[in-house]
Amino acid sequence: MKKSELIEAAAAEADISKAAAGRALDAILDAVVKAVAKGDTVTLVGFGTFKSSKRVARTGRNPQTGAEIKISASTVPRFTAGAGFKVAVGGKKAAKKK
């Protein structure tokens, strides 16, 4: 699904215009990106969690030559799927909490 298809689906589901759905999606994505870039965690219960993660510097290999190369440390975005999302994708029933 492309962004335009997601906007169409959201507009139909929420009974709003495509333009309004597009602005809403852009605003949400922008807010998530800004929060994660600041180092905050964004949790959407049942869907998942967006956060930043640090990768340490390490040594890798050039696949063409086999020569060792240094890979510098970096900060990368991470997404962890929530229980509801996992259940929807996996097709299993949600486990009951005790």
Structure confidence at residue 91 (pLDDT): 79
Q: Which residue has the tokens 């994505």?
A: 29
Q: Which of 26, 28, 25 is nearest to 9 (CA)?
A: 25
Domain ranges of the chain: 1-38, 41-91
Name the fold adopted by 41-91: HU Protein; Chain A (4.10.520)
Residue 41: DSSP 8-state: -
Contacts 24+ apart (CB under 8 A), 23-27: none
Tokens (6 digits) for 73 = 């440390």
User: Strand 48-55 to strand 42-44: parallel, antiparallel, or no bridges (unpaired)?
Assistant: antiparallel
User: Mean pLDDT across the stretch 12-38?
Assistant: 96
For residue 26, pLDDT over 70 is answered with yes
User: Mean pLDDT across the stretch 26-53?
Assistant: 95
User: Mean pLDDT across the stretch 66-91?
Assistant: 93
Structure confidence at residue 54 (pLDDT): 94
Structure confidence at residue 94 (pLDDT): 58
